[in-house]
Amino acid sequence: MNKKELIEKYANEAYEKGSFNGTWLLAENGNIISKGAVGFRDPEDTLPITEDTIFQLASVSKQFTATAVMLLLREGKLSLQDEITKYFPEIPYPGVTIQHLLTHTGGVPDYFDDEDWFINIWKEEKRVPGNDEILRFLCETEAKPYFAPGENFQYSNTGYNLLALLVERLSETPYEEFLQRNIFEPARLTSTRCCHIRRDGVPFDNYARATVIEDGKYVADIDSIEYDSVAAFDGLNGDDYVYTNIFDMLKWDRVLREGRILTPQEQQLMYTPVRLNNGSAFADEDGDGYGFGWAPANDPETGLVVSHSGGMPGVHTWYERFVDKDKVLVILCNREEQDARVHSGFFSALRAIARGEDPEPLITIEDIAVKDPDKSQWESFCGKYEHPEDDDFVIDEIFMKAGELYAKVPGYEVTYEYRLYPIGENEFGRKGGMLKLKFGDGCLMFGDITCKKLN
């Protein structure tokens, strides 16, 4: 089976298992090897996705913010070593430079840590806060920095909001307009723009709405009880809110390769992994570093590869450029997955195929669940559990229903219940996520967190 047939097989299988809904494209040397579309761009399954459908990029957008900063650097309007307090003296983060923001090493807190600030404005004032209000947010919340500048790496969307605001101030042009004039139009990305769909309405005829699962049904994010608050952040810029399709992302790869917007030297700077104050290069658990809006990695087989993922409720994106091998992989998805293992497996499979490797089969939670498990201890697992105050994932209660084990998890507006599938001795997994739970000695354990049973 060739790459085209293999990718189509995986895409169709992932779609049939409710875990991929979107478009993909793999190109080598500028030639499309595989492209396609599966699923629907509306929750009601009435509008089929086509190959030119427009998707929200989520954090894949950050590379365009970083590009805007590089263009201003070229013009001499800023220095990467400028402290951000030079431009925003009111914010309480001295010593943080523009380069720190680009590389997530400034320690500036992420606005998602205190998202209620934005949600309250949206609900009480009936408006969506603009990106300029990120300054007010940082001053009013007085959130402590994660660490001293350059001491560590901590992903922070707020840093990119500040960069977008900096682009506006130094160019004296709205951020959206700056991208359009200086990046999208010169690159001939005719289907690409930065906009605010939830705030201002949809400007595209062929837009794939972000769709989530609620009460077992697909609903648009803004129509759900749990995720409608995404509208509260739709006035921000820099970290998200670029919309495009697979063909424009292929064009963007060619533009970068040809050095038409950014020179090879400028790109090389962006692809250089950040080094911390102690001289060590940051690398995540997969060995990837972080540059300016890109996650670079070097491998003897593939050479330099730069990539970025994107995620919001109902939105999953992946953009990967094989700089030394002249390949590009784009995956755009607009629907929350039914089975996280299939979803993750699909993205991993396409990455493997792009590398010429054999992909792993798509595995569901049912595939790995223990058949005819011993349920004699399950009742003893039931009850309420304590949880750390700083734990974002809170399990309130474990209980039995219809002979199966379930977990109760409070959301922002609603409480969720999900089934736990036995996958080992006193070990359980869930369908909608990769989390593994283990019970023992009156405790519930997940990752490095241990919670004691309260009753």
Q: What is the pLDDT of residues 200-229, one digit of tens each?
A: 999 999 999 999 999 889 999 999 998 999
Cβ atoms < 10 Å from Cβ of 81 = 9
pLDDT, tens digit (0-9, with 9 covering 90-100), for 367-387: 999 999 999 999 999 999 887
CB 435 within 8 A of CB 429: yes
From residue 204, give the alpha-carbon distance in Å to each of 46, 243, 267, 318, 320: 17, 9, 31, 21, 25
pLDDT at 288: 82
Please report how the helices 134-141 and 157-171 are oriented relative to each other, as an axis angle in degrees rounded to 10: 130
Strand order in the sheet with 449-452: 383-384, 397-401, 404-410, 415-424, 427-429, 436-440, 443-446, 449-452
Q: Which of 296, 298, 291 is nearest to 307 (CA)?
A: 296
pLDDT at 182: 98
∠ CA(170), CA(174), CA(175), 5° rounding?
80
Kindly report, as residue ranges, where domains of CATH 3.40.710.10 are found in the chain: 21-336
CB 193 within 8 A of CB 243: yes
CATH of 21-336, one of 3.40.710.10, 3.20.20.80, 3.30.70.250, 3.90.1150.10: 3.40.710.10
Q: To which H or E segment does residue 266 belong?
A: helix 264-270
Helix, strand, coil share (%) of the chain residues, nearest 5: 30, 25, 45
Q: To which H or E segment does residue 406 belong?
A: strand 404-410
Cβ atoms < 10 Å from Cβ of 273 = 17
pLDDT at 389: 62
Kindly report, as residue ranges, where domains of CATH 2.40.128 are found in the chain: 368-452
pLDDT at 417: 87
CATH of 368-452, one of 3.30.70, 2.40.128, 1.10.3470, 2.60.40: 2.40.128
Cβ atoms < 10 Å from Cβ of 73 = 16
pLDDT at 424: 92
Give dist(CA 236, CA 194) in Å, integer: 11
Residues of the chain with pLDDT under 70: 388-393, 411-413, 455
CB 363 within 8 A of CB 435: no
What is the SS3 assignment for 278? coil
